[in-house]
Amino acid sequence: MIDSRYTDCTTVYPRGMLRNRFFVVDDSSHAPRSSRLDSHIKRSLIIKFDKSEGAILLFAQAICKLFAHQTWAICGGISTQFREEFFYVFRQMDLTSAQICGLLLPDCADPNDPTQSGWQVQIPPRPKTLRPPVKPTKTDSIRVLQLSDLHVDFDYKAGSEARCDEPICCHTETATPALPAGYWGTVAACDIPHRTLENMLDHINRTLWVDYVLLSGDFVNHADWDYTVEEHLHVLHNLSSLIAKYFPDTPTYWALGNHEGVPVNNFAPHFAPAKFIPTWLYQAFLNISAPWMDAENNSTAMYRGSYSTVLTKGLRLISVNTGFCETTNFFLYLNQSDPDGTMSWFVAELLKAEQAGEKVHILGHIPPGDGECLEGWARNYYKVIQRFNDTIQAQFFGHVHWDYFTVFYEDMHNVASDPVGVLYATPSATTFEGLNPAFRIYTVDPEKGFAVTNFDTFSTDLSKANQTHPPVWTKLYSALTQYNLTDLSPKSWNGVIKQIFEEKEVHDDFFRLATRTDPTTCNAECQNTLKCSLRSGHHNQTLYCPPSAIKSHLKTNMVPQK
């Protein structure tokens, strides 16, 4: 029997789309969050006894609400889009009530670990001596452009309502909008129009010099519930053509973001039926990457959406599909253990690089310590970074849209131990949510082991742009100058963290730069979350995460120390 608060209804979705009938929640209850959460979990246990479509969709909406933090209406739309995936996954489950609860909350986690969330990748021991690094053929500094989270919105309407009640705004035209959408974009819950991205690329092409381009995922807009394969292919073709227009002879390397999946976050490992494997996406990904990628990687790109290729003599790039750590990639609730052998493949590529004397840069989308990344993946990734810290010279990620970094430590449970790595979460090109668009250029020194020696972040103030005055792109800051650093080593960044915690001026500047707005649009909760992220390469309550700063999805992913 289904709770009376769940009603069978037809829902009209944004942009005039009429969805199929599904169970949707009236979330008007004012009960305390903890009691509502317990109630939702108890209802989810229905699937132990009833694997009908209604019960499965009900459970799917509960997971969406808890992990993705969307409205019940949007979760209903997404769960409808996920129908086949949900039915396949949950019909494969034969779980006890405690095991189902363990999928949602750590307090009732099942010690039998049915989904193998405690999996461990095999990592070879450190060699007694490392092979000397390959001597680079070129010693000039390398300039690397990273573009992340473009989220281009082809349905963006200038003058439409930018302050709406929907998950994404700047679509609906009204007579008197509370906040009219700007011609070039809006610092609100909106993605950017195509013309703004093209203006950015034109500026970079005309005024700045880059040796190669990194694109770290999430190219489509945030209307997750409307995703189709056809539209995604159109977006990928359009954007890859646009990049090629402005950088025709510049090597360009791509990583997949969670929004490339259809349905969103859908990256089925090969234990699932063939119809769920995103072969169409991997093929499109290969097509746009192939001109600059070693052909020997075609098979792994088609199999797992990841690849490894030589950038220049002595330097290798490894692009990792982090869709295999997504908390709402529901296939992983059947088995989280090393999806499609991706982490094992990652280790093997790093080992080959180490034995060849190569240095490595990593390109990915979801940072492992982010709340949307499962702890099993995050913990294994962290151990890989620790083991190969002499080989890995940079980690380039995106996903969060804010500008921040994460330091990795010799002991993943002790931030007082020696720093061994740093991950850069590059600011987004999209304005979603409440941000000015940005891009970044790194300086890499071949004579210093291809280490990142500086980076410059560029942005524009959209409040000063209109139809007759296009965006003015300026340097927002340079890392060395902004933080008074002599290098960008993990130790130096660890010192910056200390300053952010202890010095008000550094603290305030950091959050102003994180959002590219003045004053910052990052409120107190946002600031606590970002502080936590500076040291959270995985989910661990012993790191700098004040209890008030830890959102529910971060709590869900945390594991006790052993």
181 Cβ neighbours under 8 A, 6+ residues apart: 156, 157, 158, 159, 160, 161, 162, 169, 170, 188, 190
> Locate tokens 């963006």: which residue?
156
Structure tokens at 471: 């965006």
451 contacts: CB under 8 Å, gap ≥ 6: 393, 394, 444, 445, 487, 488, 489
Rounded CA separation 459/355 (Å): 40
Q: How far is CA 135 from the centre of its chain?
A: 34
| β-pairing verdict for 212-215 and 142-147 | parallel
Cβ neighbours of residue 232 under 8 Å, at least 6 residues apart? 220, 260, 262, 281, 284
Per the listing, tokens 């000039």 go with 140
Query: How far apart (Å, rounded) are the C-alpha atoms in residues 353 and 313?
Result: 12
**Cβ atoms of residues 306 and 265 within 8 Å:** no
CB 492 within 8 A of CB 485: yes
C-alpha to C-alpha distances, 385 to 396, 409, 536, nearest whole angstrom: 13, 9, 13
Check if the beta carbon of residue 381 is closer than 8 Å to that of residue 338.
Answer: no
Residue 350 has φ and ψ, to the nearest 5°, of: -65, -40
Q: Helices 33-44 and 53-63, interaxial angle, to 10°?
A: 150
Pairing relationship of beta strands 414-425 and 6-9 according to DSSP bridges: unpaired
Contact 378, 352 (CB under 8 A): no
Q: Which residues are annotated as a binding site?
A: 149, 151, 218, 258, 365, 399, 401
Distance from C-alpha of 347 to C-alpha of 362, rounded to nearest angstrom? 12
Task: Give the span between the Cα atoms of 407 and 494, in whole angstroms.
Answer: 7
Q: What distance, in Å, lies between the first and last C-alpha atoms of the chain? A: 41
CA-to-CA distance for 389 and 394, rounded, in angstroms?
10
Give the span between the Cα atoms of 500 and 103, in whole angstroms: 35
DSSP conformation class of 426: P
Give backbone dihedrals phi and psi of 70, rounded to 5 degrees, phi first. Answer: -95, 170
Binding-site annotation: residue ranges for Zn(2+) = 149, 151, 218, 258, 365, 399, 401
409 within 8 A of 375, measured Cβ to Cβ? no
